[in-house]
Structure 1
Amino acid sequence: MLPKRSDFPADFQFGVATSSYQIEGHSFGGAGPTHWDTFAATPGNVVRAENGAIACDHYHRWEEDLDLIANAGFDIYRFSTSWARVMPEGRGPVNREGLDFYDRLVDGMLERGLKPALT
């Protein structure tokens, strides 16, 4: 038998977590190359030569994804930023398109009553 939410203290926070490269889709939003792109492109490193170019397409499906999280009754969404999306060259100016994505994502969490937990 699985525990029920009521089996936990009233202030217990339930959350879900993702990692940017594995969920967002790294070929969108002006992201620059990462070591994961290089690793995934090396023959034999990844099953079926899969990569993070599209991943789960969270970059385009974030609203639907946040609805799923909120409707499942979670309190917190722990997510990471892709620094290659924020600073595609690794230094220099930030990528406005990348920052706008994370801004929309955080606003979407707040609209749904989810607490953002950025890593």
Structure 2
Amino acid sequence: MTDRRDPPPGFRWGVSTAAYQIEGGMDEDSRGRSMRDTFCDRAGAVRGGDTGRVACDPYRRWPEGVGLMRDLGLDGYRFPITWSRVQPAGRGEVNGAGLDFYERLVDGLLEAGITPLPAL
């Protein structure tokens, strides 16, 4: 049996997140609306009326998150790319500010020695 403190060779410690549940920054940098935004805006759809408007807020606080992952000694971070941030209308013109956010995040992860693992 493998001890949790002694993972097998090649094992990588990492974490992952889901966009709507954590990202926040809904009203910043021309982010478009998602189906989840529309759902959460319906009265009674979500207990307490909670939305992802702020959430954990890595959109503004990504350096702190990268620092925490570095301090934990993580090897990888699987993070979501929010399509409504990249293409606010769902298709067509790309939102440069949205891409800039992900570029800053990826650069920060690489500088911290953490492998970025983006997911759509």
Fold match by TM threshold 0.5: yes
2:26 aligned with 1:10, yes or no? Answer: no
- 2:101 corresponding residue in structure 1: 101
Task: Supply the distance in 1 between the matched residues of 2:42 and 2:50 (Cα, whole angstroms).
Answer: 10
Q: Pairwise CA RMSD of aligned residues? A: 1.1
TM-score w.r.t. the length of structure 1 is 0.92
Shift of 1:28: 2.1
> Offset of 1:27 from its aligned partner?
2.1
TM-score scaled by length of structure 2: 0.91
Q: Given residue 92 of structure 2, which amino acid in structure 1 is its aligned partner? A: G
Aligned-residue identity in percent? 47
Aligned residue type for 1:14: W
Other structure's SS at 1:117 match: strand
Shift of 1:10: 3.2
Q: How many residues align?
A: 116
Mark the runs of 5 or more structure 1 residues left unpaired by the alignment: none
Q: Output the CA distance in 2 between the equivalents of 1:30 and 1:24.
A: 15
How is 1:41-80 mapped onto 2 (pairs within 5 angstroms)? 41-80=41-80
Unpaired segments of 5 or more residues in structure 2? none
State the SS of the aligned residue for 1:29.
coil
Match of 1:34 in 2: 34
